[in-house]
Amino acid sequence: MPIVFVMKSTVSGLRYFFAWSVSSPTTTYRLNYRLKHTFLFLLSGLFSLLSFSQTVSQLTKTGDKKFAEGDYNAAAFYYKDAIKKDAENIDLLYKYAEASRLFNDYTEAAEGYKAVTKFDKNNQYPLSYFWLGIMLRASCECKVQDAMNAFKKFRGKYRKKDYYSAKCQQELESCAWVLDHSKPDTAVHVEQLGKEVNTEASEFGAIHVYPDKIQFSSLRNISGDDKKPDYKVRIYNQPPNPSETFIPNGSNPSMHVGNGAYSPDVQRFYFTQCEPTGKTTSRCDIYVTKYEDYKWQPAQKLSDHVNHPSFTNTHPAVGFDLQGNEVLFFSSDRSGGQGSMDIWLCKLNADGTYQQAVNAGKVINTQGNEITPFYDANERKLYFSSDWHYGFGGYDIFETTGEYVNWSTPKNLLRPVNTPQNDLYYSLAPDNSVAYITSNRKGSYFITSETCCNDIYSYKTGKTIEKKDTTSTPATDTLTTAAADEPKDMIDETLKGVKQKVEVTLYFHNDEPNPRTLSDTTSLNYQQTYDAYLTFREEYRREYAKGLEEEEKLAAEKAVSDFFTQKVEGGFKNLQAFTSELLELLEQGNTIEVTIKGYCSPLNYNQYNIHLGNRRAASLRNYFYNYRVGILLDYIAQKKLLLKTISFGEETAATEISDKREDLRNSVYSPAAALERRVEIVSVEVK
């Protein structure tokens, strides 16, 4: 069955998306976490008015129709009104319990199943005690003992040896485990992210891309018209990211798009697209878009080694094996697994292709569902959610270490990270200081049932791991880099209060960034232009040495190599060192003014070069904006960090530099000309 998310309205075609289904030989049931939205007009008062004069048969028929459409909230209302007229009708009671369960209204579902067990003298609904136990567990940890009693009664009545009998035994063992692990870790404080992120729509799958900001997925009405709603899952940016949504290039606007994950170098973005396969089912595939030439390229569906064409493939996460090879983790219900949804993984080849996916094995995967993997590269841990391993109820989050099919026994993250409700989509900030989870725990925003709906939560882990600044921020619609670990002492603290010269000079390819424009700004940051510039190294060596005799050719090639090594690469290392110490001084409470100057070679006319110099200075400003996923932005907003820029045209360029377009060897590729295409931090004042 496909992984989908469940929606709570009468909007057709959107009942399931990215959730999970569990199949048994005799029946299929869904243990979903529900999505929510603001277009819920079928409120209880309206239902009562509409159903006041209807018969039990009419109410039941309408409830059945809503149930078939996946509108379980509406179905439950109609069934409940019918029960008021026929309180001992076990068919109605069971339908009401089922609709409430599928809407994640655990308390009402438990009441419904309990009533069925009371009136079902002929054991017409043998699963009632089973579901009663599940709902009691999910509604409150305080009802673990009651849940155990229900499971014991189910075991005494149910004679089949199937999934339900095995799950019942597992639930009894899990309940006993809960009694020994009920004390929460008081040092961990899980908090809802609030209305800046969470809404009456459903939010899930947080990705840390900013000092304290995230990207996340959500199901919302993208039409903007409540009369003609169009509910789609999209990826959203938490403010103050420049764009509210991050829509991968090439994604299909008619499909749901979510579950985003970046590669370690932030040059690839993986996501899932799902399309309906029926009224209550969907099938999903994993796509990737690559960041090349300063933009996200059209997304491509991954090969059949990852995307099995007959099953759902979702929840991509990038990690590594113990040898450092990049590995893609994901969830799938394909054949060959241990249960319904399993964790699968495949190694990334050097040419960008993927090896055949393998199942993560029986230590991780079970007869139940294992989903939403996340790999922590800092501590080499895999996190995932499971509804089978011993837990507090629903889905719990677990951690394990290992690779491929060899993993340590999964460890439950315990309370308060896990709850009796569903806890999913564990992820970490790049420095491991903050963890994010998705949960429908009590305290989430809801409309009619306090556990119906999912929000994003976070907590501080109490640890911080430094990371090297080896990645670049790929685009203005997502702000993602790694933290830095660089040398210090670029600013002499004895010179506080005095403007000083700082040895940070950075270089650019000809007419970069954003060639052939009179704009004074750019969306690129310096690391992006630096990475692009390094790709021209061999072209510069070839063109500057072209036509020279052997000795002169070798000398020319060496001059270009020295320029790139000493100036271009050396300049960037100095920038990293400077910015690291700049942050330290800001953290100490200083106010700092940095003056940046942009320069150009004389290849173009002076006014054009002034604009080009401004763009070069702007790229350095953008580097500061994006540094360590935006850690300097608060200081800039508070005017604790002041960035001044000045641009010079060609009047400062050395007079011997060629300005002839036909002489590209000397006007573009010569080290002398390349030295003029630069931006400098000319002074810093620590106030």
Which architecture characterizes domain 493-686 according to CATH? 2-Layer Sandwich (3.30)
Predicted local distance difference test score (pLDDT) of residue 171: 96
H helix or E strand, kind and range, residue 146: helix 144-157
Distance, CA of 487 to CA of 575 (rounded, Å): 10
Above 60 in pLDDT, residue 28? no
pLDDT of residue 321: 92
Cis peptide before 373 (omega within 30 of 0): no
d(CA 427, CA 126) in angstroms, rounded, equals 39
Residue written as token pair 């529900």: 34
Does 215 score more than 90 pLDDT? yes
Which tokens hold the place of 539?
Answer: 């072209």
What dihedral angle (degrees, nearest 10) is formed by the CA atoms of 429, 431, 432, 436?
-10
144-148, 304-308, 397-401, 474-478: least confidently modelled range = 474-478
How many helices and strands, by DSSP H and E, does the chain display? 16, 28
∠ Cα 113 77 45 (to 5°): 140
Using the CB atoms, write b or e for 460-490: b if 16+ within 10 Å.
eeeeebebebebbbbbbbbbbbbbbebeeeb
Category of 440 on φ-ψ map: left (φ > 0), alpha (ψ -120 to 50) or beta: alpha
Is residue 27 over pLDDT 50? no
Cα gap 20→18, rounded to integer Å: 7
Compute how many other C-beta atoms are within 10 angstroms of the C-beta atom of residue 495: 13
Could you tell me if 82 and 60 are in contact, meaning their C-beta atoms sit under 8 angstroms apart?
A: yes
575, 529 in Cβ contact below 8 A? no
pLDDT tens figures, 427-459: 999 889 999 999 999 888 877 778 888 999 999
- The full DSSP string for 270-315 is EEEEEEESSSS-EEEEEEEEEEETTEEPPPEEPPTTTS-TTS-EEE
pTM value surpassing 0.85: no
Residue 28: strand pairing partners: 23
Q: How confident is the model at residue 683 (pLDDT cuts 50, 70, 90)?
A: confident
Give tens-digit pLDDT for 269-324: 999 999 888 776 789 999 999 988 778 899 999 999 999 999 999 999 999 998 88
Residues 126-140 pLDDT 10s: 999 999 999 999 999
- Please say whether the beta carbons of 343 and 384 come within 8 A: yes
Q: What is residue 513's three-state secondary structure?
A: coil
- Two structure tokens written together for 235: 């990826």
Angle at which helices 90-102 and 106-119 cross, to 10°: 160
Are residues 370 and 340 in contact, defined by beta-carbon separation less than 8 angstroms? no
The domains spanning 21-180 and 205-460 adopt the same CATH topology: no
Tell me which architecture the domain covering 205-460 has in CATH: 6 Propeller (2.120)
Would you tell me the crossing angle of helices 72-85 and 56-68 to the nearest 10 degrees? 160
Report helix angle 56-68 to 90-102, nearest 10.
30
Element (H, E) at 399: strand 396-400
Rg (CA), the chain: 30
d(C-alpha 174, C-alpha 159), whole Å: 21
- In CATH terms, the superfamily for domain 21-180 is Tetratricopeptide repeat domain (1.25.40.10)
Output the CA angle 495-500-505, nearest 5 degrees.
Answer: 135
Model pLDDT for residues 340-396, shown as the tens digit of each residue: 999 999 999 989 899 999 999 999 999 999 999 999 999 999 999 999 999 999 999
Cis peptide upstream of residue 513 (ω within 30 degrees of 0): yes
Residue 273 burial by Cβ neighbours in a 10 Å radius (0-12, 13-18, 19+): buried
The residues, any chain, with a CB within 8 Å of residue 453's CB and separated by 6 or more, are 8, 34, 35, 36, 104, 200, 202, 440, 444, 445, 446, 447
User: Among the ranges 413-427, 522-536, 566-580, which has the highest mean pLDDT value?
Assistant: 413-427
Q: Is the pLDDT confidence value at 501 over 70? A: no
Percent of the chain whose pLDDT exceeds 70: 82
Mean pLDDT, the chain, rounded, equals 83
Q: Residue 377 half-sphere exposure, CB side, CA atoms within 13 Å?
A: 22
pLDDT of residue 435: 97
The whole-angstrom separation of Cα 289 and Cα 209 is 17
Sequence spans of domains, the chain? 21-180, 205-460, 493-686
How far apart are alpha carbons 631 and 464 in whole angstroms? 14
Q: Can you give the three-state secondary structure of 449-475, one letter per residue?
A: CCCCCCEEEEEECCCCCCCCCCCCCCE
More confident: 15 or 277: 277
Average pLDDT of 483-506? Answer: 52
Among positive and negative, which fits the CA dihedral 455, 461, 462, 463?
negative
| Enclosing H/E stretch for 504 | strand 504-507
